[in-house]
Chains A and B, each alone.
Chain A
Amino acid sequence: GAGVSQTPSNKVTEKGKYVELRCDPISGHTALYWYRQSLGQGPEFLIYFQGTGAADDSGLPNDRFFAVRPEGSVSTLKIQRTERGDSAVYLCASSLVGGNTEAFFGQGTRLTVV
């Protein structure tokens, strides 16, 4: 597609439920990133994929969060047993691999846990 697409744009869920957030990167971009942006803060890194594998997952806050990218394109961020503190905008970005590259961001999924 023309840009990074994230679905849904908004998600409201009850505390304790499981949610999945989807990211469709720019075609041909093998690098994919997930960030989380809380109110009044800058985006914080969660996880980075090179192809199908997670190259760096050091930003995942705990084991309730995990992400997959089984075919090296679409990625899903999964959150188990959601908590109110998980409420944030989840941003996805993609880029080409190599030096002098830039990341292109989607519009994000706003997750609200009630």
Chain B
Amino acid sequence: AQSVTQPDIHITVSEGASLELRCNYSYGATPYLFWYVQSPGQGLQLLLKYFSGDTLVQGIKGFEAEFKRSQSSFNLRKPSVHWSDAAEYFCAVGGNSGNTPLVFGKGTRLSVIA
């Protein structure tokens, strides 16, 4: 069965510092991988996705993620965090049929301090 683990429930970083949010997945074939961000009272917004090809993917708002098959990981990174990045971040995995429903992790809440 598919599963996603986000080991960090809550992370606090200083504004301007770098960020890495961890995501590990379990899936029997090549997965489709996603990172979504959810701000309070808002819906889920897609940050980036990996389907195939280059294992380093660029997303919106300066985020990137790297797919590492050997580690079953898809960690999200940003070199310099802005206060507006404070939100809940969800990693998700889907099957390669393209329409397989997503399995989400429990999320990592990011707080940004001055």
- In the complex, the answer to whether B98 meets A100 with C-beta atoms within 8 Å is yes
Binds A, one of B11-19, B61-69, B77-85, B104-112: B104-112
With contact pairs A100-B98, A105-B43 given, residues A43 and B51 touching in the complex (Cβ less than 8 Å): no
* Chain B interface residue number, banded: 20 to 34
Tell me if B99 and A43 are in contact (CB < 8 A). Answer: no
Q: List 12 A-B contacts (CB under 8 A).
A: A35-B102, A43-B90, A43-B102, A44-B104, A91-B44, A98-B99, A101-B98, A102-B49, A103-B102, A105-B36, A105-B43, A105-B45
- Min C-beta distance of B55 to chain A, whole Å: 16
Q: Which residues of A contact B (CB under 8 A)?
A: 4, 31, 33, 35, 40-45, 48, 50, 55-56, 59, 91, 93, 95, 97-108
8 Å CB interface, B14-69 against A: 34, 36, 41-46, 49, 51
Q: How distant is the Cα of A98 from the Cα of B92 in the complex, in angstroms?
A: 18
Contact B42 A48 (CB under 8 A): no
Hey, which chain A residues are within 8 Å of B34, CB to CB?
102
CB distance from A110 to the nearest CB of B (A): 9
CB <8 Å contact, A48 and B43: no
Cα distance A101–B32 when bound, in Å? 10
A45 x B101 contact (CB < 8 A):
yes
